[in-house]
Amino acid sequence: MSDSPLPVVRLRPKAEARAIRHGFPWVYADELVTDRRTSNLAPGAFAVLEDSERRPLALVTVNVQSKIIARVMDRDPGATIDRAWLSARIARAAALRDRLHDAPFYRLVHAEADGLPGVVIDRFGDAAVIQPNAAWAETMIDDLAAALADVTGVTAIVKNGTGRSRGLEGLAEETALLSGRIEAPVAVPMNGATYMADILGGQKTGLFYDQRPNHAFAQRLARGARVLDVFAHVGGFSLAALAGGAESALAVDSSAAALALAEAGALAGGTAGRFTTRQGDAFAAMEALAAEGARFDLVVCDPPAFAPSKQALEAGLRAYERVARLAAPLVAPGGFLALCSCSHAADLTQFRNASARGIGRGGRRGQLLHTGYAGPDHPMLPQLAESGYLKALFFRLDG
């Protein structure tokens, strides 16, 4: 039994304590005893988790408003979660990224995989964006920001409190500049291209670092090619392709603001003369391009998460199939098609099967060349399948 001054929460007798001992980081609401004392804990409070026989397992953060009612903070039930603890976790994450990358542009903290549950931090040179997607991180946002500045020396820190994850935690949406000044989109060098990241008002943290290795693979396929980048955001695949020697690139996205940033990135990278954009619904744009008889040597589709939950899985897989069906006819004979999914609810096999069906329904056949994942600055926690969400399939299509 724990002698910690912290409150104690306890697993139900049928809950699997072994999973926690072996590294699983979450306790679901139906696995915890939710008596009056536990129900009265403030969202984000820390507690000692015990098994059903009252043996301490870990120090956790509790949020009775969430289906993930407890998240493991430290395997040591006697740990103290303070600014020094946060600094140690951030420093460990930073040491890995500094080994992986020559410049400070990367995902610095990838939530549970880096030991900071529900926290994402992306670094943009002297600036950083924190996404506090768990109640404890919202409560300790000032300490998180201070620890981040202490470890990295960043001078501007943004809190991005938007997205589905915060809603599931019962947290309000809010974006705020916590320290420093940010006066313009931040120029981000990656794979020889320059991207413009709106870290105050853009989607999520302003740029998707997870696709870096997949941009690089597409870049090799794009040499001398005509490229179509659908769901382009700020030009992730198209700007990388142009930097690698693509003949031309067309970026399609529904957001005029994102396409304006893509155009600014092309100008900054010296590739604006080979870059065009088309604003509008991606599905409608692909149908229109097909009607125009347009063909491309490389087509890339990187849509938002169509299956963000198990409840959305069937509809999401149909959407991925539709993307492949509309994209396949736009690929020139012998050309390449890249299809991406960031839906953790759709596993690799399900996504691959939906993509293959769509390609077939689009009247094409091909070979699967390569399967890509998020870069190593987005490490996976092996016990948590959700941390391996990104899949990128590269096909070569026949005539």
| Residues annotated as part of the active site | 342
Neighbours of 202 (CB within 10 A): 22
